[in-house]
């Protein structure tokens, strides 16, 4: 537990340095690239969300894009109302087109920024909380959780496409106003916006790590290994599962809000099948056992996608596919597994050195910490 905590801290610090210092430097602080990288960070957040429920508690959520999409729509609704302020009745253009008479009641709260930000987290939490209570109290596990989450996501997506008078339908919610935060009109191509995204990512990861390293996290890991035994110990398994499921939804909601800001529109494709499955792949590539590694997976795969599509116009999708197959075949624990394996090998060796050194009565060299740092 203690050692795990140290590894977490070092990994987190390295990751923070990567995101805060190395990434903006890599792109020379140019506006276009910063915008793209901010998008990758948002996708990193949602990959971490997948890993939080999958890696920690063994709940594979194939419908993670549902809560992600909800976050993006919440943000889009606020920005759309701002953009429509000059229209008659403050109605968004697509409502006027589809002959909606007045603003639907559930749009009203999104005039306020604080309520919007709260809703971007709380609506996903409520959705996941209700769904989790229903599923986990019914002791639904494994592949059935995957099926239910996936179906619910597709159902909501269909509803959004069909109710175009309320949701913008197939085209989504477009022509948005820029976000205003404490009088700062957010320019999504600027360094401050990049750091806003990075700040959200790091804050969310820190909270996730706190949850994982708390007592609840320990119970969750036990549930992953053997839920029945934990239940016999008297723990309310369903409650713990619902908590982690909702926490993961909250993370996805934050990611969705960021994603909408970067792209300046919300679309039903944000809760689409392919994006949702891609999120699971990112988490698998990074390593589902660690949310930091999963976030890195989300960022890395999307950077690779951007880079490969730039260099190999025709074959990039094929190349990405080959990479995914290779990871699943040869690195079932993802990059994290690779690094963790290397760390264990190193610490076994330094452990041997340590024993020899202790035998000779010398001071232990501090290589252990350094090698752990490199491996996460």
User: Which residues in this chain contact other proteins in the complex, by CB under 8 A?
Assistant: 26, 30-33, 35-36, 39, 94, 97-98, 158, 161-162, 164, 169-172, 174-176, 189, 259, 263-265, 267, 269-270, 274-275, 306-307, 309-314, 317
CB-nearer residue toward other proteins: 106 or 312 = 312
Min. distance of Cβ 356 from other proteins in angstroms? 40
Q: Write the CB contacts of 346 (distance below 8 Å, at least 6 apart in sequence).
A: 371, 375
SS3 label, residue 180: strand
Min. distance of Cβ 186 from other proteins in angstroms? 13
Min. distance of Cβ 264 from other proteins in angstroms? 4
CB-nearer residue toward other proteins: 176 or 219 = 176
Q: Write the CB contacts of 224 (distance below 8 Å, at least 6 apart in sequence).
A: 56, 57, 58
SS3 label, residue 152: helix
Q: How far is CA 12 from CA 22, 191, 256, 290, 375, in A?
A: 14, 22, 22, 10, 12
Min. distance of Cβ 288 from other proteins in angstroms? 24
Cα 162 from chain centroid? 27
CB-nearer residue toward other proteins: 25 or 105 = 25
Min. distance of Cβ 368 from other proteins in angstroms? 31
CB-nearer residue toward other proteins: 2 or 274 = 274
CB-nearer residue toward other proteins: 72 or 246 = 72
Q: Partners of 173 in the beta sheet? A: 266
| E-state strands within 105-203 | 180-181, 184-185
Min. distance of Cβ 169 from other proteins in angstroms? 5
SS3 label, residue 181: strand
CB-nearer residue toward other proteins: 11 or 172 = 172
Min. distance of Cβ 5 from other proteins in angstroms? 33
CB-nearer residue toward other proteins: 189 or 195 = 189
Q: How many helices (H) and strands (E) does the chain have?
A: 16, 2
Buried b (16+ CB within 10 A) or exposed e, 35-67: bbbbbbbbbbbbbbbbbbbbbbbbbbbbbbbbb
Q: Write the CB contacts of 106 (distance below 8 Å, at least 6 apart in sequence).
A: none
CA 321/CA 258 separation, integer angstroms: 27
């Amino acid at each position: 537990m203690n050692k795990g905590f140290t590894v977490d801290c070092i990994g987190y610090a390295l990751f923070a340095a990567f995101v805060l210092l190395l990434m903006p430097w890599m792109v020379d602080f140019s506006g276009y690239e910063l915008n793209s990288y901010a998008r990758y960070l948002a996708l990193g957040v949602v990959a971490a969300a997948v890993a939080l429920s999958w890696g920690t508690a063994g709940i594979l959520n194939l419908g993670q894009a549902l809560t992600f999409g909800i976050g993006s729509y919440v943000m889009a609704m606020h920005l759309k109302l701002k953009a429509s302020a000059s229209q008659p009745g403050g109605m968004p253009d697509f409502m006027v087109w589809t002959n909606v008479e007045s603003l639907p009641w559930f749009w009203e709260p999104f005039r306020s920024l604080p309520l919007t930000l709260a809703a971007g987290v709380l609506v996903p939490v409520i959705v996941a909380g209700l769904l989790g209570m229903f599923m986990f109290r019914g002791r639904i596990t494994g592949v059935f959780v995957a099926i239910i989450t996936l179906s619910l996501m597709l159902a909501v997506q269909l509803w959004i496409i069909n109710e175009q008078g309320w949701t913008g339908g197939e085209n989504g919610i477009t022509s948005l106003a820029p976000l205003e935060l404490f009088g700062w009109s957010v320019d999504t191509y600027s360094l401050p916006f990049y750091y806003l995204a990075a700040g959200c990512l790091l804050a969310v990861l820190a909270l996730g790590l706190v949850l994982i390293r708390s007592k609840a996290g320990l119970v969750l890991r036990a549930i992953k290994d053997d839920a029945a035994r934990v239940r016999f110990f008297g723990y309310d398994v369903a409650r713990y599962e619902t908590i982690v499921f909702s926490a993961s939804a909250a993370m996805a909601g934050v990611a969705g809000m960021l994603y909408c800001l970067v792209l300046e529109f919300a679309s039903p494709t944000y809760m689409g099948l392919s994006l949702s499955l891609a999120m699971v792949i990112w988490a698998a590539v990074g390593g589902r056992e660690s949310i930091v590694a999963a976030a890195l997976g989300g960022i890395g795969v999307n950077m690779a996608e951007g880079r490969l599509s730039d260099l190999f116009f025709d074959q990039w999708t094929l190349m990405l596919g080959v990479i995914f197959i290779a990871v699943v075949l040869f690195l079932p624990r993802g990059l994290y597994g690779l690094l963790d394996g290397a760390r264990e090998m190193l610490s076994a060796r330094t452990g041997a050195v340590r024993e020899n050194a202790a035998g000779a009565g010398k001071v232990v060299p501090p290589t252990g910490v350094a090698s752990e740092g490199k491996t996460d």
